[in-house]
Amino acid sequence: APAACSSGPGPQRRAALAAAGGLGLGALWSTLMGNRASAEEAGAAATGEPRVSESGYNVTPLPRSEVKELASSLPRLSQDVLLREATERPFSGQTADKSAQHNTKAKGTWISAVSNVPLFSSDAKFESGTGWPSFYAPVDEQHVTLKTDRSIPFMTRTEVLDARSGTHLGHVFDDGPAPTGMRYCLNAAALKFVPEGQELPPQK
């Protein structure tokens, strides 16, 4: 069974890391996982042009001051998770708008509680047994950013952030199901849920 959201690389990835040699576990893990913050983002920032995802969303990073203002109306737990990288208690998560629990099986789209950018679909959601909403892929890889997280001593993890607001969502691990083998382990408090058939709100 998958470990909780403080886990590191799974057995298959650990074997690859050991075989590679030379690089530290954390550094190679981050290299293999990749970082969605690409040269394309840097180029967009340099030219001042908006960065638009393949799905048609503006994922140009918002100013931190605007992010804080947008988050100020959310519940305290959501603010702690989004802005201060807190983690909600397992098996207790509720979306920022109280529209869904962590274990809902309803069809719909999970969006950023700050930017309203669609992040994950119920079609990619699975029961991981960890007590946090888990998905095997985002709706668009350009909607999330991956970042090396060394906040726990002697443990390197890969943090998942909303690309538009830069806010904390959770972490990603390589012990998920097919077809990707990945487990995006997220905090429900960092998200909102839009039921299938309901129009997605405009992004911020």
> At 9, is the pLDDT very low, low, confident or very high (cuts 50, 70, 90)?
very low
DSSP state letters, 12-75: HHHHHHHHH-SS-HHHHHHHHH--S--HHHHHHHHHTPPPB-TTS-B-PPPPHHHHHHHHTTS-
pLDDT of amino acid 49: 84
Percent of the chain having pLDDT more than 70?
77
Instruction: Give the DSSP letter of residue 143.
Output: G
Residue 120 pLDDT greater than 80, yes or no: yes
- The residues annotated as belonging to the active site are 185
Does the pLDDT value for residue 125 go beyond 90? yes
Taking the C-alpha atoms of residue 161 and residue 168, their distance in angstroms, rounded to an integer, is 5
**pLDDT confidence of 15, banded at 50, 70, 90?**
very low
pLDDT in tens, 40-54: 454 455 557 899 999
pLDDT at 31 exceeding the cut of 60: no
Q: Say which amino acid occupies 37.
A: A
pLDDT tens, position by position, 150-201: 999 999 999 999 999 999 999 999 999 999 999 999 999 999 999 999 999 9
Q: pLDDT band for position 26 (50/70/90)?
A: very low
Kindly state the average pLDDT of the residues 105-131: 98
Chain segment 50-68, per-residue pLDDT in tens: 999 999 999 999 999 999 9
Closest CA to 168 of 4, 2, 1, 5: 5
Residue 72, pLDDT above cutoff 80:
yes
